[in-house]
Amino acid sequence: MPADIKNQPAQPGAVTIRFARDKETTGTIRYAEVVPDDDMARVKNIYLQKFFAKELGLPDAITVTITAGA
């Protein structure tokens, strides 16, 4: 998915956001939200524990869907 596509809802009450790998520390990997020029960040950064990122194959990008729930 190109970085210039706006983050689109996956379903009503849900938002899907792309993150690109940004910085690595001793125990975590930071992913920064990919924000089109005409939009604003909703989450900004997500940190994954390094062991979990390794389970995912140390991806360069991740997609996160946030849903409202009870």
Q: What is the pLDDT of residues 12-61, one digit of tens each?
A: 788 999 999 999 999 999 999 999 888 899 999 999 999 999 999 999 99
pLDDT of the residue at 11: 64
pTM reported for the whole predicted model: 0.78
Q: Annotate 20-69 with three-state secondary structure.
A: EEEEECCCEEEEEECCCCCCCCCCCEEEEEHHHHHHCCCCCEEEEEEECC
Mean pLDDT, residues 2-18 taken together: 65
> What are the residues facing 19 on neighbouring strands?
33, 62
- Is the pLDDT at 4 greater than 60? The verdict is no
pLDDT of the residue at 69: 80
Residue 59 backbone zone (phi > 0: left; psi -120 to 50: alpha; other: beta): beta
d(CA 50, CA 52): 5
Domain ranges of the chain: 14-67
